Amino acid sequence: MGKGLKKLEHAKDQIAELAGHLGQELSIALCEGNNACISRDGQIAFGVELLEHHQDNDDLMMAILGHEIGHQPWYWPEGDLGPMTQKQLDTLFREEEAKADRFAGRVLADLKADPQAIGAFLKAHAKFEAAKPSDYYPADVRAEMIAKAFVQRKADLASRTLSPAMKRRMSELR
């Protein structure tokens, strides 16, 4: 499991940079379970079972970290959500999850990873849900959102052209 944790730390630093932050602003802590989440202070709780079962699937690990960092808790609004109705809360949470999924898709393109791993993971785990969730989109919609963000970002990256001076400078840095 140490190898998997080292991979997570390395990927966290790369993904944090893509979000405009330093990796040291975020931390990873292991917890029980087969899930991951991020707190307001940037601590990513990563389930031991999730890591044990999938630590060799780098694309999936990057997608999960990309999703969690994509929540960007440093922008979460302060305040009491108590007065909101359940329907309003579900909408708020669903859109928050969608934002994180789209970010994960863009991260996967930047890191040249495969978005199919997270799509398959989401769809496989949806089979075990007793009821259709109201606070996030169904797995197939989420997988499609991630894939679309990936394709768009990949196209954006491919369309960028560097000036001859920039190309020279990039080759000097290698």
pLDDT for residue 172 is more than 70? no
Give how far Cα 21 sits from Cα of 10, 17, 79, 144, Å.
Answer: 14, 5, 24, 27
pLDDT for residue 1 is more than 90? no
| pLDDT confidence tier of residue 161, bands split at 50, 70 and 90 | low
Strands (E), 7-108: 27-31, 36-38, 43-47
| pLDDT confidence tier of residue 169, bands split at 50, 70 and 90 | low
Is pTM beyond 0.75 here? yes
Mean pLDDT over residues 38-66, rounded? 95
Record the tokens describing residue 33, joined without a space.
């379970």
Bridge pairing between strands 27-31 and 43-47: parallel
**87 three-class SS:** helix
- Residues making up the chain, counted from first to last: 174
pLDDT in tens, 120-135: 999 998 877 777 888 8
Q: What is the pLDDT of residue 117?
A: 95
For the chain, the average pLDDT equals 89
- What contacts 69, CB < 8 A, 6 or more positions away? 12, 15, 16, 19, 26, 38, 44, 103, 107
- What contacts 72, CB < 8 A, 6 or more positions away? 19, 99, 103
pLDDT for residue 163 is more than 70? no
